[in-house]
Every structure is written in C-alpha cells, then in structure tokens.
Amino acid sequence: MQGALFDYLLRQGDTALILGHRLSEWCGVAPALEEDIAMANTALDLIGQTQMWLGYAAEVDGQGRTADDLAFRRDVWDFRNLLLVEQTNGDFGKTVMRQFLFDAFDVANLTALQGSTDPRIAEIAAKSVKEAQYHLERSRETVIALGDGTAQSNARMQAALDLLWSFTGEMFAMDDVDHTLAQDGTVPDLAQLQPGWTRTVNAVFTEAMLTPPESSHAQLGGKTGARHSEHLGHMLATMQFLPRAYPDARW
C-alpha cells in the first residue's frame, strides 16, 4: 500500500512539475503581455502544488529525501508524469490546447480527491482545486476564442487537437497502483471521471468550431515510467542543471 501511495504521489507531483516548467518557458516570449503573466502565474500555481505532492511523497518514502530531491535528483526513467504535459510548447495554440485538455481532467480529478480517505490527499486537493478551476476557465475561453477566430487560428487549434488527442487516454488508464488505492477510497476510479471530462471538452469544441479525432488510440507509459518521449530528457537537462551542478548550494 505504501509503495502504491508513493507512486501515486509522484504521478501527481511530477505531472504538475513538468507542466509548470513547460509553461515557464513562455515567460517573456508569450504573444501578449496578459498571456505572458497569466501563464507565469499558472506555472507558479503548479509548482506550488508540486511542492505539496512531492513533499508528501518524500514523507511516505521515508528515505530522508525532500521535495527538491525528488524534483531535481531523479532521472528520466524515474519520472511518473503524464505524457501529455511533457510535450513541447510548439506555437501558442498547441500550448493552450495542451493546457485545456489537462485542466478539464485536473478539475475533475482534484474535485474527486477532496473526498479521499487519506486526509493529506484530501487537504492538498482542496487547496489546489480552486486554482485548477481558474486555469480551466482561462484555457477554455482561449480555446474558444482561437477556435472560433480567424481561419488561421482555427486551423492551428485543430492541428493542435489532432496532435495531442492520443495523449489524453492515459489520464483515465487504470493500473495496479490506481486499483489498489481506489479500493479503499484513497483515489477515485479514473474511468468514472472520463464521461464528465468528455462532456466538458466536447462542449468547448462545439463552441470553438473544432472536431476531436475519432481515434481512441491512447499513448501510454508516462505515469508508469515505462516510456517517455524524447522531449522529457531535454527538458530535465535544463531544469535540473543548477541543483546538480551545485548540490550543496543554499539560496
């Protein structure tokens, strides 16, 4: 049970960490000042959530490690984030679509986790869900504005949706970790979250004049550590450089 809990907390923390770093890459280069600030703030929210999830994971692990150790001193094969969030930013449309697809899941998942039988998980979820709801509101509005905008913006949003769609299935894929923790109500049954997520995203796609792909193929392996894209290694090389180069530094 402790092993499953540790793995689950890594999944939550790693996903927030990797997406937060991806969004931080837009700082200073976003297409508009408002979006630059909004994405930086969203990144900060996600890093704050990372601190809570990985902090709890370090306690469960009991090896004397900290949240910083888990973030900066693990290699690619040790990460348990969703494949979706490690995908490169691409253009602004791709970044926004990635964010929306994740936000719709994040709100549903955190809402359910507020009822967890694990008090710490319920507490973290309660602190995080309001931020996630705001993230979803922003990404939803932007997807609609760009999808139902010019011919070029619509085409870019459709291309982003087509590219990222196969990564969404992993959010709802259940494995031994999920089944073990769902038995006593520590975490929700992910399959039960999917219908609500589908309704949420399809309603937005209708308004945005976008069509989700018909394929049900799901890219898997990120949250089990079995497979990551080539993008994650490059990202970690940048993100982890200073803590690894100066492991004893204090700021």
pLDDT in tens, 53-82: 999 999 999 999 999 999 999 999 999 999
Q: Count other Cβ atoms within 10 Å, centred on residue 170.
A: 19
Q: Is the pLDDT of residue 242 over 80?
A: yes
pTM of the shown model: 0.96
pLDDT of residue 215: 85
User: Rounded CA gap, 74 and 69, in Å?
Assistant: 8
Q: Count other Cβ atoms within 10 Å, centred on residue 111.
A: 17
Tens digits of residue pLDDT in 120-150: 999 999 999 999 999 999 999 999 999 999 9
Percent of the chain past pLDDT 70, that is, above it, reads 100
Tokens (6 digits) for 59: 């306690």
pLDDT level of residue 190 (50, 70, 90 thresholds): very high
User: Rounded CA gap, 231 and 68, in Å?
Assistant: 21
pLDDT of residue 59: 97
pLDDT of residue 1: 72
pLDDT of residue 31: 85
Using CB atoms within 10 Å of the CB of residue 167, give its burial: 0 to 12 exposed, 13 to 18 middle, 19+ buried: buried
Q: Which domains does the chain carry? A: 2-245 (1.20.1260.10)
CB of 137 closer than 8 Å to CB of 129:
no
